[in-house]
Amino acid sequence: MSAFASLLGRDMRLSVRVGGGALMGALFFLVVVSMIPFAIGPDLALLARIGPAILWLGALLASLLALDRLFATDYEDGSLDLLMMGGMPLELAVATKAIAHWITTGLPLVIIAPLLGLMLNVDLHALGWLALTLAAGTPALTFLGLIGAALSVALRRGGLLLAVLVLPLTVPVLIFGVAATNAAIAGPAPFGPPFTILCALSLASLVLGPIAAATVLRHGLE
């Protein structure tokens, strides 16, 4: 447990420093969501209708923005080798790094999304549902991104490969996240089924993502 806490605290401190992914992801989210209304125009009804989809897409892109550095920094300074040879199981170490990434990158997106929803003319009563679906779905984006981050380090490629590998995996999360939000706002579809599937995707990625990423690192860095 002490090793888990130490690694979690270390990665969180690195993320919030200058050059880390925490502030960069939030700023990118703000810029993306702010630019789309300029492209669409002053149609408030249209913005309110597609606002949840815009916020979910922005959160998806912002979550992936810093994932290419998740293992790259540790690989460059040798910390990744120490993690692989240490007493902590590599799957647990990888999961710990993903949790730290979500706390510093995904959680701020969940917090600021309702504020940006006001800018998109999303109904006030829907902002809570929007934050709930993002809180349930953004962990899946992070843990699925683990696989692409591990592959990009193992194959010595950059962020472009990460985007190509991870974006197709995140399509179900995007679909059910937007569906659950729209169901909570306007109906007539029930909120429960898409939200349950969204939670199931997050739980499945929580289990399978670290296992797959650890396997890639073991075989790719031998």
The answer to whether 133 and 110 are in contact (CB under 8 A) is no
For CA atoms 88, 93, 94, 99, the dihedral sign is positive
pTM: 0.88
The string of DSSP codes covering 16-75 is HSTTSHHHHHHHHHHHHHHHHHHHH-S-HHHHHHHHHHHHHHHHHHHHHHTGGGTTHHHH
Q: What residue numbers bound the domain in which 185 lies?
A: 2-220
- State how far the alpha carbon of 56 is from the alpha carbons of 34, 68, 110, 158, 195, in Å: 13, 20, 10, 24, 14
Burial of 8 by CB count in 10 Å (0-12 exposed, 13-18 middle, 19+ buried)? middle
Residue 125's identity, in one-letter code, is H
Give Cβ neighbours of residue 163 (< 8 Å, ≥ 6 apart).
64, 148
How much is the pLDDT for 158? Answer: 60
Helices 107-119 and 124-154 cross at an angle (nearest 10°) of: 140
Interatomic CA distance for residues 212 and 165, integer angstroms? 13
pLDDT exceeds cutoff 60 at 54: yes
How much is the pLDDT for 21? Answer: 63
How much is the pLDDT for 20? Answer: 57
What is the percent of the chain where pLDDT is above 70? 92
* Mean pLDDT, all residues of the chain: 84
Q: How many domains does the chain have?
A: 1
How much is the pLDDT for 159? Answer: 61
Q: How confident is the model at residue 157 (pLDDT cuts 50, 70, 90)?
A: low
Q: What's the farthest any 2 CA atoms get from each other in the chain?
A: 57
Mean pLDDT of all residues in 142-171 = 81
The structure tokens 């499945």 sit at 204
Mean pLDDT of all residues in 68-93 = 78
pLDDT tens, position by position, 205-221:
999 999 998 898 888 66
pLDDT exceeds cutoff 90 at 196: yes
Mean pLDDT of all residues in 107-119 = 90
Which of the pair, 65 or 197, is modelled with greater confidence? 197
Mean pLDDT of all residues in 44-70 = 86
